[in-house]
Chain A
Amino acid sequence: AQSVAQPEDQVNVAEGNPLTVKCTYSVSGNPYLFWYVQYPNRGLQFLLKYITGDNLVKGSYGFEAEFNKSQTSFHLKKPSALVSDSALYFCAVRSWRLGNQGGKLIFGQGTELSVKP
Protein backbone atom coordinates (compact mmCIF):
# COMPACT_ATOMS: atom_id res chain seq x y z
CA ALA A 1 0.00 0.00 0.00
CA GLN A 2 1.16 3.50 -0.73
CA SER A 3 1.49 5.99 2.06
CA VAL A 4 2.96 9.34 2.95
CA ALA A 5 4.13 10.51 6.34
CA GLN A 6 4.79 14.02 7.57
CA PRO A 7 6.40 13.51 10.97
CA GLU A 8 5.97 17.07 12.19
CA ASP A 9 2.55 18.52 12.98
CA GLN A 10 4.05 21.97 13.24
CA VAL A 11 7.22 23.74 12.16
CA ASN A 12 8.18 27.12 13.57
CA VAL A 13 10.70 29.29 11.77
CA ALA A 14 11.90 32.86 12.10
CA GLU A 15 11.46 35.04 9.05
CA GLY A 16 14.56 35.01 6.87
CA ASN A 17 15.72 31.62 8.12
CA PRO A 18 15.68 28.50 5.96
CA LEU A 19 12.77 26.15 6.39
CA THR A 20 12.32 22.43 5.91
CA VAL A 21 9.06 20.50 5.99
CA LYS A 22 9.67 16.78 6.08
CA CYS A 23 7.97 14.05 4.08
CA THR A 24 8.67 10.37 3.70
CA TYR A 25 6.84 7.99 1.42
CA SER A 26 6.22 4.34 0.82
CA VAL A 27 5.28 3.21 -2.67
CA SER A 28 5.65 0.26 -4.95
CA GLY A 29 7.26 1.30 -8.18
CA ASN A 30 8.35 4.78 -9.13
CA PRO A 31 6.89 7.48 -6.94
CA TYR A 32 5.04 10.52 -8.23
CA LEU A 33 5.33 13.03 -5.41
CA PHE A 34 3.69 16.38 -4.84
CA TRP A 35 3.64 19.27 -2.40
CA TYR A 36 0.57 21.42 -1.89
CA VAL A 37 -0.09 24.41 0.35
CA GLN A 38 -3.40 25.31 1.94
CA TYR A 39 -4.37 28.67 3.39
CA PRO A 40 -7.27 28.89 5.86
CA ASN A 41 -10.64 27.96 4.37
CA ARG A 42 -9.15 27.57 0.92
CA GLY A 43 -8.46 24.71 -1.43
CA LEU A 44 -5.01 23.36 -2.09
CA GLN A 45 -2.48 25.15 -4.23
CA PHE A 46 0.10 23.18 -6.15
CA LEU A 47 3.72 23.93 -5.23
CA LEU A 48 5.81 21.37 -7.02
CA LYS A 49 6.08 17.77 -8.13
CA TYR A 50 8.61 15.06 -8.75
CA ILE A 51 7.93 12.67 -11.59
CA THR A 52 11.35 11.86 -12.93
CA GLY A 53 14.63 13.58 -13.68
CA ASP A 54 16.62 15.82 -11.37
CA ASN A 55 16.28 15.02 -7.71
CA LEU A 56 16.07 18.71 -6.83
CA VAL A 57 12.74 20.09 -7.94
CA LYS A 58 12.03 23.81 -7.97
CA GLY A 59 8.50 25.06 -7.57
CA SER A 60 6.33 28.06 -6.87
CA TYR A 61 7.08 30.89 -4.43
CA GLY A 62 10.75 29.95 -4.07
CA PHE A 63 10.09 26.49 -2.71
CA GLU A 64 12.06 23.45 -3.70
CA ALA A 65 12.10 19.80 -2.74
CA GLU A 66 14.71 17.11 -2.85
CA PHE A 67 13.81 13.60 -3.86
CA ASN A 68 15.96 11.06 -2.03
CA LYS A 69 15.28 7.54 -3.16
CA SER A 70 17.52 5.80 -0.63
CA GLN A 71 15.86 7.60 2.27
CA THR A 72 12.41 7.57 0.61
CA SER A 73 12.07 11.23 1.41
CA PHE A 74 10.81 14.30 -0.37
CA HIS A 75 11.44 17.21 1.99
CA LEU A 76 10.19 20.67 1.12
CA LYS A 77 12.65 23.51 1.54
CA LYS A 78 12.99 27.24 1.16
CA PRO A 79 16.22 29.19 1.71
CA SER A 80 14.57 32.19 3.35
CA ALA A 81 11.13 31.97 4.94
CA LEU A 82 8.51 34.71 4.73
CA VAL A 83 5.70 35.41 7.18
CA SER A 84 3.32 34.90 4.25
CA ASP A 85 4.56 31.31 3.93
CA SER A 86 2.64 30.47 7.11
CA ALA A 87 0.09 27.86 6.05
CA LEU A 88 -0.70 24.16 6.08
CA TYR A 89 1.53 22.05 3.82
CA PHE A 90 0.68 18.65 2.42
CA CYS A 91 2.90 16.08 0.83
CA ALA A 92 1.16 13.61 -1.47
CA VAL A 93 1.87 10.58 -3.57
CA ARG A 94 -0.09 9.61 -6.61
CA SER A 95 -1.81 6.28 -6.65
CA TRP A 96 -2.12 4.62 -10.02
CA ARG A 97 -4.83 2.32 -11.25
CA LEU A 98 -5.01 0.48 -14.53
CA GLY A 99 -6.70 2.54 -17.23
CA ASN A 100 -6.78 5.48 -14.85
CA GLN A 101 -7.44 8.99 -16.02
CA GLY A 102 -5.46 10.60 -13.24
CA GLY A 103 -5.09 8.63 -10.08
CA LYS A 104 -5.84 9.29 -6.48
CA LEU A 105 -3.65 11.48 -4.39
CA ILE A 106 -2.74 10.05 -1.01
CA PHE A 107 -1.94 12.84 1.41
CA GLY A 108 0.26 13.08 4.43
CA GLN A 109 -1.15 14.36 7.68
CA GLY A 110 -0.15 17.92 6.93
CA THR A 111 2.37 20.20 8.61
CA GLU A 112 1.47 23.62 9.87
CA LEU A 113 4.23 26.07 9.12
CA SER A 114 4.44 29.18 11.25
CA VAL A 115 6.89 31.89 10.27
CA LYS A 116 7.36 34.61 12.87
CA PRO A 117 8.69 38.09 12.11
Chain B
Amino acid sequence: GAVVSQHPSRVICKSGTSVKIECRSLDFQATTMFWYRQFPKQSLMLMATSNEGSKATYEQGVEKDKFLINHASLTLSTLTVTSAHPEDSSFYICSAWDRGLRRTVQRTNTEAFFGQGTRLTVV
Protein backbone atom coordinates (compact mmCIF):
# COMPACT_ATOMS: atom_id res chain seq x y z
CA GLY B 1 0.00 0.00 0.00
CA ALA B 2 0.88 3.64 -0.26
CA VAL B 3 3.17 5.06 2.39
CA VAL B 4 3.20 8.46 3.98
CA SER B 5 6.29 9.27 5.98
CA GLN B 6 6.35 11.97 8.62
CA HIS B 7 9.45 13.36 10.26
CA PRO B 8 10.43 13.86 13.02
CA SER B 9 8.39 11.46 15.12
CA ARG B 10 9.19 13.35 18.27
CA VAL B 11 10.57 16.82 18.94
CA ILE B 12 11.15 18.91 22.01
CA CYS B 13 11.76 22.60 21.53
CA LYS B 14 12.08 25.72 23.61
CA SER B 15 9.31 28.22 23.82
CA GLY B 16 9.67 30.88 21.14
CA THR B 17 11.48 28.74 18.61
CA SER B 18 10.06 27.32 15.37
CA VAL B 19 9.69 23.69 14.46
CA LYS B 20 9.30 22.19 11.02
CA ILE B 21 7.49 18.90 10.41
CA GLU B 22 7.79 17.11 7.08
CA CYS B 23 5.23 14.89 5.42
CA ARG B 24 6.24 12.85 2.38
CA SER B 25 4.30 10.55 0.12
CA LEU B 26 6.84 7.87 -0.69
CA ASP B 27 5.38 6.01 -3.63
CA PHE B 28 2.66 8.23 -4.99
CA GLN B 29 2.05 11.84 -5.83
CA ALA B 30 -0.17 13.89 -3.60
CA THR B 31 -1.41 17.23 -4.87
CA THR B 32 -3.30 17.61 -1.61
CA MET B 33 -2.23 16.73 1.90
CA PHE B 34 -4.01 17.29 5.17
CA TRP B 35 -2.64 18.33 8.53
CA TYR B 36 -4.37 17.26 11.72
CA ARG B 37 -3.82 17.96 15.37
CA GLN B 38 -4.72 15.52 18.09
CA PHE B 39 -4.91 16.00 21.84
CA PRO B 40 -4.51 13.01 24.14
CA LYS B 41 -7.31 10.46 23.76
CA GLN B 42 -9.22 12.80 21.52
CA SER B 43 -10.20 12.88 17.91
CA LEU B 44 -8.25 14.38 15.05
CA MET B 45 -8.90 18.01 14.35
CA LEU B 46 -8.26 19.12 10.79
CA MET B 47 -6.01 22.16 10.77
CA ALA B 48 -5.47 22.81 7.10
CA THR B 49 -5.43 21.43 3.61
CA SER B 50 -2.10 21.70 1.87
CA ASN B 51 -2.26 22.27 -1.87
CA GLU B 52 0.73 21.73 -4.12
CA GLY B 53 1.81 24.94 -5.76
CA SER B 54 -0.75 27.14 -4.05
CA LYS B 55 -1.75 28.46 -0.67
CA ALA B 56 -3.00 26.17 2.01
CA THR B 57 -6.61 26.27 3.09
CA TYR B 58 -6.96 26.70 6.83
CA GLU B 59 -9.86 25.59 8.98
CA GLN B 60 -11.71 28.14 11.02
CA GLY B 61 -9.86 29.12 14.14
CA VAL B 62 -6.44 27.97 12.94
CA GLU B 63 -3.88 30.76 12.72
CA LYS B 64 -2.18 30.63 9.34
CA ASP B 65 0.71 32.79 10.52
CA LYS B 66 1.25 30.44 13.40
CA PHE B 67 1.10 27.23 11.42
CA LEU B 68 2.89 27.79 8.14
CA ILE B 69 2.29 25.20 5.44
CA ASN B 70 4.39 24.75 2.35
CA HIS B 71 3.57 22.19 -0.32
CA ALA B 72 6.43 22.74 -2.73
CA SER B 73 6.37 19.43 -4.55
CA LEU B 74 4.01 16.59 -5.32
CA THR B 75 5.52 14.46 -2.58
CA LEU B 76 6.32 16.87 0.22
CA SER B 77 4.34 19.13 2.50
CA THR B 78 5.80 20.88 5.54
CA LEU B 79 4.14 22.32 8.61
CA THR B 80 6.13 24.91 10.55
CA VAL B 81 4.96 25.82 14.01
CA THR B 82 6.30 29.33 14.48
CA SER B 83 7.16 30.89 17.81
CA ALA B 84 6.02 27.78 19.57
CA HIS B 85 4.43 27.95 23.00
CA PRO B 86 3.62 25.19 25.48
CA GLU B 87 -0.03 25.21 24.37
CA ASP B 88 1.15 24.16 20.93
CA SER B 89 2.33 20.89 22.40
CA SER B 90 0.33 18.20 20.69
CA PHE B 91 0.40 15.28 18.30
CA TYR B 92 0.43 16.40 14.68
CA ILE B 93 -0.52 14.01 11.89
CA CYS B 94 -0.49 14.42 8.14
CA SER B 95 -2.39 12.45 5.54
CA ALA B 96 -2.64 12.14 1.80
CA TRP B 97 -4.91 10.33 -0.59
CA ASP B 98 -3.62 7.75 -3.01
CA ARG B 99 -5.87 8.09 -5.98
CA GLY B 100 -4.79 4.70 -7.20
CA LEU B 101 -4.00 5.96 -10.67
CA ARG B 102 -1.24 3.41 -10.86
CA ARG B 103 -3.79 0.65 -10.63
CA THR B 104 -6.83 -0.26 -12.70
CA VAL B 105 -9.42 0.77 -10.17
CA GLN B 106 -12.19 3.32 -10.22
CA ARG B 107 -11.07 6.83 -9.52
CA THR B 108 -13.37 6.88 -6.51
CA ASN B 109 -11.76 3.82 -5.01
CA THR B 110 -9.23 5.69 -2.95
CA GLU B 111 -8.20 5.83 0.64
CA ALA B 112 -6.26 8.19 2.85
CA PHE B 113 -2.91 7.21 4.31
CA PHE B 114 -1.49 8.76 7.40
CA GLY B 115 1.97 9.60 8.57
CA GLN B 116 3.28 8.21 11.82
CA GLY B 117 2.61 11.45 13.59
CA THR B 118 4.87 13.96 15.35
CA ARG B 119 4.79 14.44 19.09
CA LEU B 120 5.67 18.08 19.71
CA THR B 121 6.57 19.18 23.21
CA VAL B 122 7.29 22.85 23.82
CA VAL B 123 9.10 23.59 27.05
Contacts and interface: CB of A to CB of B under 8 A. Distances in A.
Interface of A: 32, 34, 36, 41-46, 49, 51, 88, 90, 100-110, 112
**Chain B binding surface SS class:** strand
B62 interface: no
Given A101-B31, A101-B97, A102-B96, A107 B44 contact: yes
A21 to B, nearest CB: 14
Given A51-B108, A104-B34, A41 B43 contact: no
Contact of B114 (A45, A100, A106, A110): A45
A50 B44 CA distance: 20
A43 B110 contact: no
Contact of B117 (A43, A46, A51, A106): A43
Sort chain B's interface into a size bin.
20 to 34
B44 A90 contact: yes
A43 B112 contact: no
**Closest 6 A-B residue pairs measured CB to CB?**
A102-B97, A43-B114, A101-B32, A44-B114, A43-B117, A43-B116
A36 B108 CA distance: 18
B111 A46 contact: yes
Given A34-B111, A44-B114, A46-B112, A103 B97 contact: yes
B49 to A, nearest CB: 7
B7 interface: no
A9 to B, nearest CB: 9
B109 interface: yes
